[in-house]
Chains A and B, each alone.
Chain A
Amino acid sequence: MVPLVLYVLLASAMFTIGLYGLLTQRNGIKLMMCVEILLNSANINLVAFSAYLPNANGQVFALFSIALAAAEAGVGFAILIVLYRLYGTIDLDNINALRW
């Protein structure tokens, strides 16, 4: 059996990668992807823990979370599409009329 710590390490690595991407990328789609990576790192955690624990709560949680992630992606893309229509770009660095 693969030791739990490896799963957790994997999840942490994914989380870090996602976070790094969020801080460095400008493109809206890439940011969305990074968010998905973050969510999935949590899902890996949940599933892995659940496998080592005497209950299935984590797996259920992961299922819910996957569903929610999908919905979130739907909303997110909808926003980005309209954004693109209005601004002609999804480079988020340039969209900063609201500030200060």
Chain B
Amino acid sequence: MTLGFGDYLSLLGAEALLTGLALLMIMIGLFTKNKNLMGYLSLAGLVASLFLVMGADMTKGSIFYGTMEVDALSQFFKLVFVAVALIVVMAALSRYKDSPAQDEFYVLLLFATVGMMVVASSIDIVTLFIGFELASLSTYAMAAFDREKQNLEAAMKYFIFGSVSSAMMLFGFSLLYGLSGTTKLAEIAAASVESMGPATLVALLFVVAGFGFKMALVPFHMWAPDTYEGSPTIVTAFLAAGSKKMGFVAAFKVLFIALVALSFEWYMAFAILVAITMTLGNVVAIWQKSVKRMLAYSSVAYAGYIAIAFVVVGAANSGGLDLAVAQNGLASGLMLILGHAFMKTGAFIAAAVVGYMALSEGRKNPDDLEQYAGLGRRAPITAFCMLIFLFSLSGIPPTAGFIGKFMLWGSAIDSGLVWLAVLFALNSALSLYYYLRVIMYMYVREPAGAKIAEPKGYVLAMVAALVVVLWIGVFPQAFVDFAYSAAAVLLH
């Protein structure tokens, strides 16, 4: 089937639009003084691409010589990426209002988004790598955007860790290419089934290292707390919600397409990794005084939760593939990814509001838990949104976080990994401790200052995230269906 230009436009219209917009904005940025316009431009572009993504035809198959594909899986993730970018842009409208370099922020953000979307669509390791790097490079710069000391430290760690991981991943890809003679994921998978050797294993591990870095799985997570804490908060939101999910989609594609072939019980090794990840994330998060860092560790824990999906698929595959179980597991993982994207973005943006508030009052440690004292009265909307996001993160119904965890618990039980499900449950309960502590500060402690005017952009962003979180929580049907069809794509 040959595709015309119109088809390309309809399939990759969103990417094209965003890339074009980003380039255009660079140009405009050179010639205009009033850069506040940029935010609205990118807002409009993202809204438009949201519709383009939703409107894309998912039946056309692959494009660009079989390197990219538009299907339920890719569109699922693209929706997440665009929506997260949209929310971050809303927050940035307030954050970088009147800032002279704000055009660069939006451009980087759009490029990063495009990179992620490319990863979501790619079915070839070359495009995958390119998309991955595009997103990474943009976010390296974003992490350092405010040029404060801790931004730079964060960016430096992020950059070095990220580039090492990329290099490892590339090395792994090169080995895979050498072993299978192709760069197409499907063909790599087919070849792996035939010849499975130690070299394949090594290759896979290097690839895992690359994705594990983005996903922030133990032991590849170590950059995450530092970078999340040190970056500008809305960038952190984007990293946690967007960039991290890119790691997952890449891992889904490579690990499943290429690794479903592995017949032995590799999933147990992964299960241990998952168990360590979530436990470490939670127990260390308890100790954090900085809410941002706490959320960062919570993000690590979430990486562990979501990665249960891999384990479930592995378990479902251990004795001949049980499609229903595997699909269930994948769909559950996708639902949790979806939920996590929005609640984490929202939570970080709320943290940004608090940081903004604390800084404007000239306090030290703007992210410290103490700043949240009495937030319920100082900034009621922020506090309420934060409340819902935290409940969602802890898996209290009826929220997106609950639906995701709920399904994931179910699929873990379904695949017979009862110990993992119980550990997951205990971890989830443990995580309540630090989420509730923030809530206690917000609603129980006496406020340390007067009521503040909450910046409109932030409020818009948080409310948008809130609506999505509750919407998924109360009417999950459409999302669940979407997740199931996305999962079906991966499992053919």
Contacts and interface: CB of A to CB of B under 8 A. Distances in A.
Nearest to B149: A86
Given A39-B167, A49-B177, A75-B137, 5 more contacts: A61-B177, A64-B126, A72-B137, A98-B225, A98-B226
B155 interface: yes
Interface in A30-57: 31, 35, 38-39, 41-43, 45-46, 48-50, 53-55, 57
B133 A58 contact: no
A65 B229 CA distance: 30
Contacts of A48: 178
B171 interface: yes
A18 B287 CA distance: 35
A57 B150 contact: no
Given A54-B181, A71-B137, A79 B173 contact: no
Contact of A22 (B126, B152, B164): B164
A58 B129 contact: no
A79 B144 CA distance: 7
A96 B153 CA distance: 8
A46 B287 CA distance: 45
Contacts of B150: 97-98
A17 interface: no
Contact of A64 (B130, B171, B225): B130
A76 B159 contact: yes
Interface in B195-238: 225-226, 229-230
Contacts of B125: 61
Most buried by A among B130, B148, B159, B164: B159
B420 interface: no
Interface string A50-87: 10011101101100110010011001101110110011
Given A42-B167, A49-B174, A98-B226, A65 B129 contact: yes
- Ordered nearest first, which 6 A-B pairs have the shortest CB separation? A38-B167, A45-B174, A49-B178, A98-B226, A42-B170, A42-B171
Nearest to A12: B171
Contacts of A75: 137, 140-141, 159
Interface residues of B, number: 41
B469 interface: no
Contacts of B154: 98
B373 interface: no
Contacts of B182: 55, 57
A72 B177 contact: no
Interface string B160-181: 1001101110110111011001
Nearest to B148: A86
Most buried by B among A38, A78, A99: A38
A92 B156 contact: yes
B152 A35 contact: no
A97 B153 contact: yes
Contacts of A96: 153
Contacts of A18: 167
Interface string B30-71: 000000000000000000000000000000000000000000
A75 B170 CA distance: 18
A8 to B, nearest CB: 8
Contacts of A95: 153, 156
B183 interface: yes
Nearest to A57: B183
A97 B171 contact: no
Interface string B112-145: 0000000000000110011001000100110010
A18 to B, nearest CB: 7
Given A61-B173, A75-B159, A53 B164 contact: no
B174 A98 contact: no
B141 A61 contact: no
B155 A57 contact: no
B141 A78 contact: yes
B53 to A, nearest CB: 25
